Chains A and B, each alone.
Chain A
Amino acid sequence: MAKVLMKGNEAMALAAIKGGCDAFFGYPITPQNEIPEYLSTHMADHGRVFVQAESEVAAINMVYGASGAGARVLTSSSSPGIALKQEGISYMAGSELPCVIISVMRGGPGLGGIQPSQGDYNQITRGGGNGDYHVLAFAPETLLETVDIVKQAFDLADYYRNPVMIAVDGLIGQMMEPVDLDKKPPRKKLKPKDWAAEGLSGVRGHRNTIVSLHLDPYELEKHNLRLKKKYDEMVKKEQRYEMIRMDDAEIAIVAYGSVARIARSAVLTLREKGIKVGIIRPLSIWPFPEKAFVETPDSVHTLLVAEMSLGQMLQDVKIVNNGQRTIKFYGRAGGVVPEAEEIVKEVQKIVRGRQS
């Protein structure tokens, strides 16, 4: 099928339906409202479940119940709302329940603003919930990529029995772009959900329980180590990234989501000026794509981390760089989107600095 022009939030909502989402539970918050608005009618049209919950807290706990009963479940929210969901996300990770969470980031802290931001990188990759857990998190760059990853997310969540977060900034949620919703992303081989507590103990012949409580510390440690094994598998298999014009690069811009798009324009301008610059674009932000930095050619002497935050992914880049290359940072915050020209200037500064 040909590509169709859709708004980001609506495209993600439709992608979820196409990805086999059985139920959506959410609460209004800008700038993600088109997701529940779209799903409020379209889920019913597809014979699926839509509930507008009384709060983000209730919504994520409805997700917990529905997922625990074996359904494929979605919720969406934005920064302060994701903060409220963190308790439930921790419970879901602890109980090993799959779900997909779309986070359309806006400026913070607190009520912050409603303009695009990447200020929740730490919230998403470190988690605000309690305990030793991780969520698989992807930060796509275009709507085309976003709808693909939303569809795959349901399989990944089921495969790992873990929450999967789709992290986009308000720019991706609000803009219109061509999408191809019929493209079939690679499927995971999935086992039946024989663990679900869905009211079928009679048919099954035994009862199932969904629990994150382990009062014996040795038992809990065993559970923690089992979860760790799963997270290790994610680190091994789910690092996703794109290397853009990196073959001969001397400077690499490290950027994800909307900032990566802006960096692409900056690279075109800089290449015209003869500056050898490329982009390392993380698609998975947890696990952070360490492999991209191993692959980075020796010709690269400087990494310019560019974010719509005051330096959150920067910490991960510092960890994987391990002191090897010079690291520079450029960030805008509060909902201010950087212009390509700003990134061009930052790269030129690096070039001048090395000449002097």
Chain B
Amino acid sequence: MKTQTIYQKSSGLTARALTYCPGCTHGVIHKLVAEVLVEKGLLETAVGIASVGCSVMSYEFFNCDMQQAAHGRAPAVATGIKRVRPDATVFTYQGDGDLASIGMAEIVHAAHRSENVTVIFVNNAIYGMTGGQMAPTTLIGQKTTTSPRGREQAQTGLPLRMSEMLATVPGATYLERVSVHDPKHIRKAKKAIEKAFDVQTKKQGFSMIEFVSTCPVNWGLTPQDSLEWAVENLISYYPLGVFKDATAGEDHEN
């Protein structure tokens, strides 16, 4: 019988097996970013920046030049790379602890300067790598190892919506929040990544795609229940959609 390859790992990823937990959506997001880089012919000129958190090892997975940044500093590292190598395709890959907590200044100012880089922001409302601590994005009532009775607003405030916040920054060019909980949304998410890299290729400035993601292990849920919990709880607080598109007028003209 003749065999035919109908699906294979993207050449934008290395042969190295991913280290992510079962049911976590990092794998799908890695695949989408890798596919877009390959399909757009950008992989060979790409420099990715791995952050600190679950995706700390992503420099082992993306099949392009990679730099590993200190916690939260990926947008500053991206700035340094892009300013001296403007022809490179520069992207960061950051979690919500990295981007929305310790790296708040760096992400806001990269957007403020409209650095011509792309940010892949994976928001699963918890610190995964360190064992499930509360993040600025943790929902009210959500139990974590540092909010074992559930996050309380009085002590810890309300969860931060990064895409909405960055939409108020004049320099930000393209901001979209997507989800990868089913095939339809996965296809939509890929389109968003394509758009973000197009913005960079056209030198239009700062783009960020936020992914509503999961953490079955630290949420204490099965992979399937995690996806359902994300749809029911996270997406209702973190609605999907385009939060800013400063290229809109231009695309319309074309």
Contacts and interface: CB of A to CB of B under 8 A. Distances in A.
A211 interface: yes
Contacts of A25: 79-80
Interface in A74-109: 87-88, 91, 95
A66 B84 contact: yes
Contacts, number: 148
Contacts of A197: 47, 65-67, 81
Interface string A41-60: 00000000101011101110
Contact of B81 (A65, A203, A207): A65
Nearest to B88: A199
A199 B90 contact: yes
Contact of A61 (B45, B77, B90, B113): B77
A63 B65 contact: no
Main DSSP-derived SS at the A contact region: mixed
B84 A208 contact: no
A67 interface: yes
A252 B90 CA distance: 55
Interface magnitude class on chain B:
35 or more
Nearest to A203: B44
Nearest to A48: B84
A299 interface: no
Given A65-B77, A87-B70, A202-B44, A49 B83 contact: yes
A25 B77 CA distance: 11
Given A61-B70, A201-B44, A207 B85 contact: no
Contacts of A208: 65-66
A201 B43 contact: yes
Contact of A49 (B49, B67, B84, B112): B84
Interface in B62-82: 63-70, 73, 76-81
A62 B77 contact: yes
A212 B77 CA distance: 14
Contacts of B76: 53, 57-59, 61-62, 64-65
B245 interface: no
Interface in A198-241: 198-203, 207-213
Given A22-B84, A23-B80, A210-B68, 13 more contacts: A61-B73, A63-B80, A64-B76, A65-B81, A67-B80, A68-B67, A68-B80, A69-B47, A69-B88, A199-B65, A209-B65, A210-B67, A213-B68
Rank and list the top 7 A-B pairs by shortest CB-CB distance, nearest first: A202-B44, A199-B88, A65-B80, A65-B77, A62-B80, A61-B76, A66-B80
23 contacts: A25-B79, A54-B106, A57-B76, A58-B73, A61-B70, A64-B69, A65-B79, A66-B81, A66-B84, A70-B84, A71-B84, A198-B65, A198-B85, A198-B88, A199-B81, A199-B89, A201-B65, A202-B45, A207-B14, A207-B66, A209-B59, A209-B67, A209-B68
